[in-house]
Amino acid sequence: MARRQWSIAGQLFALQAVVVTLLVLAGAGGALWLARADSEQAARAEVLAVGETVARSPDVRAALRSADPAAALQPYAEATRLATGTDFVVVMAPDRTRYSHPNPALIGHPFIGDIGPALAGERFTVTNTGTLGESVRSVVPVRDADGRIIGLVSVGITTRAINRKLLAQVPVLLGAAVPALALAGTGSWLLSRRLRRQTHGLGPRQMTRMYEYYDAVLHSVREGLVVLTRDRRVALVNDEGRRLLGLGEQTPVTDQPVTAIDLPPAVADLLADGRDAHDEPVLAGDRVLVANQRSTRFEGRVLGTVLTLRDQTDLRNLASELDSVRALTAALQAQTHESANRLHTVLTLVELGRTEEAVRLGTEDLALAQQLTDRVVGAVTEPAIAALLLGKSAQAGERGIDLVVEPDCRLDGSPLPTTDLLTVLGNLVDNALEAVAGTDPPRRVRVFVGADGAELVVRVGDSGPGLDPDRVADAFRRGWSTKSAGRGVGLALVGQVIRRYGGRYEVGRSTDGGSLFTVRLPIGAEGS
C-alpha cells in the first residue's frame, strides 16, 4: 500500500502547531524562571533587612550581655519571625552557640552554615542547608557601643516556602498561556485551510515535480506560448513566445494588460478578441506565424486563454534545405556517371599498356578534388558549413561553373547558430549560381566566410550580368525574383536573418563583373 503523503497545508499546520506550542511553553517556562529568580531575590532582600533590624535592636544587644541570653532572645526572635513571615530568626554567639531557634530543642547547639564573612564584620546572604532544610539566609554581625562583634543574627526563608509562593502564580501563567495557545492554533488552522484550497491539497513532492516539469516544458518547447487571465492580462510568455513576438528578455509582460504590451497588431487583435483560432496565419514583423488559441477551464471555471505560435519560416527553411539536398543529389548522381566514365577510360588505358597516361588522367581529377577539400576543411572548421561548400562546389561543377573559395577564407567554429549561417551562405551561393547559369564562359562564383573584428562576414560574388542598383531593396523582399514565378524566397530568408541579428548587407560589383553580395552579422548577437 502506497504511503500517504502529507499535503503542504497539513505539514504547515503541524509545523506551526509544534512551533507555537514550543514558543508558548518556552514563554511560560521563561516567565516561571524569571518569577523564581525574582522571588529568590526578594527573599534575599527580606532576610537581610530583617537581620539588620534585629542586629541593631538595643534589646538584642542587652540580652547578649545578660547572664541568660536565650531567656530574652527566644521570645523576641519568635515574635519577629511570626511578624515578618520568615522561617527562622536565630541569634547566636560568635562561637555559633544558638540563643534562639524555631525548635527550642536546638537552642544551645551550634549554628549550621557559613558565618565567616559576618565574623569579619560583613553582612551577607547565602543559600545553605540547615536543620530546616535548604534556605536563603542572611548573617549580620551584632556590635556593641565600641564596635566589637558580640553576636550574630541569621534570618532565613526556606526554599520550600519560596516555591509555594511561586506555585501560587502558576494559575495566572496558565490563564495567559492557554488562550494564547488556542488563538495561535486557530490562526494556524485557518491559514492551513486557505493554503490547502490554493494548493489543491498537493504535497511538496508533487508540487516540486509539477514545477520542474512545468519549467522544463516551457523552456524546451519550440512553440511560442502566451497565457492570459480572465481579465485579459498576461500571465505567462515563454522564451520562444518572446522571440517570435519580438519581446526582449527584460521586457516586463507578466500581469500586464494585453493592450499595454507592444505586440504585432495581428497578434494583439487575436489576444484582445479572445476567440478560438485554429492554425490561423498571423503576421509578426518579418515572420509568418501559425496561431492556435482556445479558452482554458478548470472544474467548469474559465481560467483564461492560451495562445500557441509556430514560426512558418522554419518550414520554408526546411523546404530550402530540401531543395539544396535534391540539387546536391542530382549533382552527385551526375558525378557518379562521370566518374564511372573516367574509370572505364583509365582501365582501358591500362589494358592498352598506356599506364602513364592512365595514372595522369586518374590523378588529375583526384588532385583537384582533394585540393578543394583540403582548402575548405582547413579554412572552415564548422562541419556543416564545410559540407555545404563542398556540396555547392560539386553542384557548380556539374553545371559548368567554377566555385572558388577565397584563399583568405577562415571560420573557426560557428559564432552564430549553424542553421542561420547555412541559410545565409546557402541562399547567397544558390542565388549566384542562378545568376551565372546560361551566361557565356567563364562562369565563376567566389565565396568568402570569415570574421572581421566583431562581425561575421559572408561575401559571395559572381560573373553574371549583375543586379540593377534600383532593384537591390526589392531583391530581399519575399516573392521577388528575376527568374520565373514562384521563386524569390532565398534572398528574403537571408533578409530575415539579417534583421533578426541586427546585421547589414551591401550589394556591389564583383571583380568578375557580376554582383557582389556582402552580409555582416554581429558576433555574439542573439536572434530576436
CB 362 within 8 A of CB 346: yes
pLDDT given for residue 480 in this prediction: 44
Q: Cell 552579422, residue?
A: 521
Residue 228: helix, strand or coil by DSSP?
A: strand
Residue 147 has pLDDT above 60, yes or no: yes
pLDDT given for residue 487 in this prediction: 43
How large is the C-alpha radius of gyration of the chain?
51
Task: Give mean pLDDT, residues 230-243.
Answer: 83
H or E element that contains 451 = strand 444-452
Task: Give mean pLDDT, residues 58-84.
Answer: 87
Q: CA–CA distance from 23 to each of 17, 26, 175 (Å)? A: 10, 5, 16
H or E element that contains 278 = strand 277-284
Residue 368 has pLDDT above 60, yes or no: no
pLDDT given for residue 2 in this prediction: 45
Instruction: List strand residue ranges (DSSP E) for 123-223, in order.
Output: 124-130, 133-143, 149-158
In this predicted model, what pLDDT tens digit does every residue of 109-133 receive, in sequence order?
898 888 888 888 888 888 888 878 8
Task: Give mean pLDDT, residues 155-168.
Answer: 79
Report the percent of the chain where pLDDT is more than 90.
1
Highest mean pLDDT among 94-98, 336-340, 470-474: 94-98
Q: Cell 479572445, residue?
A: 274
In this predicted model, what pLDDT tens digit does every residue of 286-306 receive, in sequence order?
677 888 988 877 766 777 888
Nearest to 284 by CA among 326, 242, 324, 346: 242
Task: Give mean pLDDT, residues 477-506.
Answer: 65
Report the percent of the chain where pLDDT is more than 70.
73
pLDDT given for residue 365 in this prediction: 59
CB 99 within 8 A of CB 73: yes
More confident residue, 210 or 415: 415
